[in-house]
Amino acid sequence: MEQQYDTAKEREEINKRYKALVRASKSKSKSADQLIIRKAFDMALDAHSGTRRKSGEPYIYHPIEVAQIVVDEIGLSTTSIVCALLHDVVEDTDVTLDDIDGIFGETVARIIDGLTKISQVFDQTSSIQAENFRKMLLTLSDDVRVILIKLADRLHNMRTLGSMPGHKKRKIAAETLFLYAPLAHRLGLYSIKSDLEDLGLKHTEPDVYESIEGKLKKTKAVRTRFVNQFTLPIKRKLDSGGITYDVKGRTKSIFSIWNKMQKKGIPFEEVYDVFAIRIVITSEQNEEKADCWKAYSMVTDFYTPNPDRLRDWISTPKANGYESLHTTVMSPTGKWVEVQIRTKRMDDIAEKGFAAHWKYKGSGSESALDEWIRRIREMLENPDIDAVDFVDDFKLNLFTKEIFIFTPTGELKTLPSRSTTLDFAFEIHTQVGEKCIGARVNYKLVSLSHELKSGDQVDIITSKKQKAKEDWLNFVVTGKAKSKIKALLKEEKRTLAKEGETIFLRKLKSYKIQLSEDNQTGILAFYKQQNQLDLNFAIAKGLIDLSKLKKLSQENGILQFDKPKKAEKSLKELVTNVRGKADMLVLGENMDDIDYKLSPCCSPIPGDSVFGFITINEGIKIHRVTCPNAMQLMANYAYRIVQAKWTSQESISFLAGLTIRGIDDMGLVNGITRVISNQSKINMQSISFESVDGIFEGKIMLFVQDTEHLNTLTNKLKIIKGVHSIERLDSK
């Protein structure tokens, strides 16, 4: 039965949302611009008429809300509002880019083109998501607004993800955490980055999200009282010093809290910096630095700072333009508290990123963001790079901490942390990187793989005889260095392949073999090479014995090879076959010729939430949705993901691992082993314990039937005196 909708009420809601958008945009546009926004709204309303989202809402709600995010949360103006309203019309309706160009002009048409997704053609050699992401980044060289509107689009999709089925939620959320949140971070959009991370966690780890959210709500009143008491003497001092300011307590995002819990292996209660105090002062641009340090001295008049926790991003801003002074001080209650000090301009840039940066660009200083976009353009100039490789390289430059390195002349360069001498060489110039044989770091000779530290002064040593080597890829960390090395290796491969081609043609001539299409295909299969370039390269390197061709017989000029074994199914066939069999893999049932294996990277057991990943040679690998590799697989290869669930098992045992930590005590190991041996149908495979300074850590591998079986055991182990925490091991 077709669902009935109250269209009159929906029209009223559409009108209400549009008016809210107009009100928000008035401060950023002239009256003539309002007419253009209206024209874009009318076109979008007409184009999406009758179309609904998965939730059942009229589709037009989505572009209006994306435009609202563009204005309110990013701070963009008329052109971006128009593009946000029209961002889906070319892809989803009969409206063409020419129509948009004719009405709104070339700039709007170009941005819309960048926002229009690639046609969903199945491509078995690369990831649809990766290609789409690369296409989006190509527009950076034209207009960064494409990325900003795309982020607004993704944020609204994440906010309305509730109507999607579970497996789709996880795929979209994984892609968001893998690519879009780091991208928002790099563009300086702190607020949007935090929202995307929290929403990503909500749909990938709902139990974790709800647990932390509940604990934050319970402790809110206590936090508010603490902030008021802590800031009172600071406010009095700032008032007496004649500083205009705003002081507020900022709670860490749920994702950040979870991240800290994961990294340090601690419960929520032990995360000391759940919130930070932010002091935002009003200051003239030429007085900003002095005013921030003045406020810092007032804070430290009352509270003792931790010298190891001072972060000065005013003297050396982050690569995304972030400027702030961070210190951690001891409160009267014995808790460390983070205090952030910044000006109104710095706060605007921290929250609104790119858009706010351009508002203040009159200062004449070159933006760190401009420098970052220049680097991305350089990466995009390499046409040979595979889409997934590109995304992996690009990610290296997205979410890493920065270090600051000096050239011999004192010029400052920003690099991701853990960068090496060779990364720095490629940062200076491709030719310097290619010819690099070492460096002097702080006047001391070091190797290519030497890891640099912030403040190092680096002088690169080069040699004309040096060439790029494949093992360089094992220790460089910047996307720029990786892509340039790959390009140099490919160029060298082409040069060698030309030599190999000469040898190949000469040998064929001496063996009286024609280079027909049939023979060429047969020879490639015979030597198990992907293409002629690979074959020629292997010949030049001396890895191919062409004399074997002399022994083959010919019929009508065509070489006679042994009949090949039945070719393995292509990835496309595998995916089609699996999807044709069932929407859902039921693990434990007879799946005929579809075989699956439990992935060793996360050791799934019955009861775990799992998914299947279609591989080329190993059938379907089953992973837990919380697997360390899950986010990357879902983000880069969503079309190879298959839903999966467990069926009842008949006393089959699965290997699982536990890490147990606690305070060493006599008889503790004995107590643990006794609990395990008393638990029915659990067998230990291995057990190891280590004790350092009274703290013990044990690793136990055991066979269990399902998650319920494992959870029962875990709960019994937790009540043993001295046991502090128990975690499931991710891998064997």
pTM of the shown model: 0.68
pLDDT above 70 for 570: no
- Nearest Cα to Cα of residue 389 among 728, 605, 636, 169: 636
- Does 654-728 match 7-206 at the fold level? no
Helices (H), 368-445: 368-380, 387-396, 421-428, 430-434
Cα 729 to Cα 603, 655, 684, distances in angstroms? 8, 11, 15
pLDDT above 60 for 386: no
Model confidence band, residue 110 (pLDDT cutoffs 50, 70, 90): confident
The Cβ-side half-sphere exposure at 492, using a 13 Å CA radius, reads: 13
Which position has the token pair 């700072």?
305
Q: Is the alpha carbon torsion for 204, 205, 210, 212 positive or negative? A: negative
pLDDT digits (tens, 9 = 90+) for 225-270: 999 999 999 999 999 988 999 998 888 899 999 988 887 777 888 8
- Mean pLDDT to the nearest integer, 130-140: 58
Model confidence band, residue 153 (pLDDT cutoffs 50, 70, 90): very high
Of residues 613 and 3, more confidence is placed in 613
Question: CA–CA separation, 110 vs 146, rounded Å?
Answer: 9
Q: What is the pLDDT of residue 376?
A: 62
Q: What does the DSSP 8-state code read for residue 28?
A: G
**For the ranges 298-307, 591-600, 647-656, 718-727, the one whose mean pLDDT is highest:** 298-307
Asked whether 92 and 117 are in contact (CB, 8 A), the reply is no
Positions annotated as catalytic residues are 91-92
CA torsion angle for 371, 374, 378, 381 (degrees, to 10)?
Answer: 170
pLDDT above 90 for 550: no
Cα 432 to Cα 254, 467, 476, distances in angstroms? 44, 11, 15
Domain ranges of the chain: 7-206, 487-559, 571-646, 654-728
Q: What is the pLDDT of residue 2?
A: 52
Which position has the token pair 């931790």?
306
Is 7-206 a domain of CATH 1.10.3210.10? yes
Model confidence band, residue 394 (pLDDT cutoffs 50, 70, 90): low
Q: What is the pLDDT of residue 283?
A: 92
Kindly state which CATH superfamily the domain 654-728 is placed in. Answer: ACT domain (3.30.70.260)
Cα 243 to Cα 287, 289, 315, distances in angstroms? 12, 14, 21
- Nearest Cα to Cα of residue 342 among 246, 253, 237: 246
Q: What is the pLDDT of residue 598?
A: 82
Of residues 595 and 257, more confidence is placed in 257
**Close Cβ partners of 224 (under 8 Å, ≥ 6 residues apart):** 249
- What is the percent of the chain where pLDDT is above 90? 24
Quote the distance between the C-alpha of residue 634 and its chain's center.
11
**For the ranges 13-27, 110-124, 637-651, the one whose mean pLDDT is highest:** 13-27
pLDDT digits (tens, 9 = 90+) for 469-499: 989 999 998 888 888 898 888 888 888 889 8
Q: What is the pLDDT of residue 567?
A: 46
Q: What is the pLDDT of residue 126?
A: 42
pLDDT digits (tens, 9 = 90+) for 74-83: 888 888 999 9
pLDDT above 70 for 133: no
Q: What does the DSSP 8-state code read for residue 75?
A: -
Q: What is the pLDDT of residue 411?
A: 81
Number of C-beta neighbours around residue 383 at 10 A: 6
Q: What is the pLDDT of residue 124?
A: 38
**Close Cβ partners of 526 (under 8 Å, ≥ 6 residues apart):** 548, 549, 561
Q: What is the pLDDT of residue 301?
A: 92
Asked whether 138 and 116 are in contact (CB, 8 A), the reply is no
pLDDT digits (tens, 9 = 90+) for 298-355: 999 999 998 888 999 998 887 777 899 999 999 888 888 999 999 999 998 888 776 6
